[in-house]
Amino acid sequence: MTTESLLLSVAMAVAAGLVGSFAVMRRMSLAADPLSHVALPGIGIALALHIHPVFGAVAMLVFGALLVWAVEERGGATTESVIGVVFSAALAIGSIMTTGEDLIEALFGGAGALSLSEKIFGLSVATAIVVFIIAFRNNLVIMMVSPDIARTAGINVRRFDLLYLESFALTIALGLRYLGVLLMGALIIIPAATAKRLAHDLKGMLWISVALSVISTTLGSAIAVRLHREAGPIIVLVATALFWLSLLPLRTWKHE
């Protein structure tokens, strides 16, 4: 793995750790996987138009997050149910439009040199997501506790809901090259779920989630190179192993 690829994967992991923390607290853990499925139709359209698949996926993810935001407001349904319905259909459509090796790479990620445009896009988007979450974490917490209190405090709840959903979608886009459509949601949720068990406050949860996400990504990538395997599945297995390890000492701590 080159220095640029390592830097980009770490930036992706940091963004995933921060976004995942709020996803877990908002009880959106099961929404990550369906949301990632919407990238498939974008990848299929991009391949048909001879455009870079990553940018097709990004366009569709951004549109999908906007669609969820709009339907949630007008239909009165929960975010999780809207995401589940819309993006399960997207998986079916994407599977039809994307075939062969392109489908396998889209589902599980793939190796290969990153283009300059991918590097610039990845670092720029990761930086924007990190800045947004850190700068407005208090607003996001207040909205999570009570939207009415947030409105009283002058917070535009609908706008921040949209910004968070778009951040969620873009975080998925960042990891498509490494983990693919099926596995990127796991990197967003698993480290955050582990951090929730270990942390005593929001700040601690954010730091721990980021650290676990970075450890899973770098260690998983190193093991994959050693074993000559794709990095995506191994990254998720490392994150999963850390989650199971977090279960062991917690019981001991509670008795102390």
Splitting the chain (256 residues) into consecutive groups of 10 residues, what average pLDDT does each group show?
Answer: 76 93 79 68 77 80 80 62 66 64 60 72 91 93 88 89 89 78 81 92 92 94 87 90 83 49
Per-residue confidence (pLDDT) for residue 230, from 0 to 100: 81
pTM, two decimals, is 0.83
Per-residue confidence (pLDDT) for residue 251, from 0 to 100: 53
**Residue of 186, 175, 164, 233 lying closest to 58 (CA atoms):** 175
Per-residue confidence (pLDDT) for residue 254, from 0 to 100: 47
Per-residue confidence (pLDDT) for residue 82, from 0 to 100: 64
Contacts with 221 (C-beta within 8 Å, 6 or more apart), sequence order: 1, 6, 9, 178, 231, 234, 235
Per-residue confidence (pLDDT) for residue 253, from 0 to 100: 47
Per-residue confidence (pLDDT) for residue 120, from 0 to 100: 85
Q: Which long-range contacts (CB under 8 A, 24 or more apart) does 1-6 make?
A: 1/221, 1/225, 2/113, 4/114, 4/119, 5/114, 6/218, 6/221
Q: Which long-range contacts (CB under 8 A, 24 or more apart) does 206-212 make?
A: 206/17, 206/18, 206/21, 206/133, 206/137, 209/17, 209/18, 209/20, 209/21, 210/13, 210/14, 210/17, 210/18, 211/17, 212/17, 212/239, 212/242
Per-residue confidence (pLDDT) for residue 256, from 0 to 100: 46
Per-residue confidence (pLDDT) for residue 131, from 0 to 100: 95
Per-residue confidence (pLDDT) for residue 4, from 0 to 100: 72
Tokens of 55: 């940018």
Question: What gap in Å lies between CA 60 and CA 38, rounded to an integer?
Answer: 6
Domains and CATH numbers, the chain: 3-246 (1.10.3470.10)
Per-residue confidence (pLDDT) for residue 215, from 0 to 100: 95
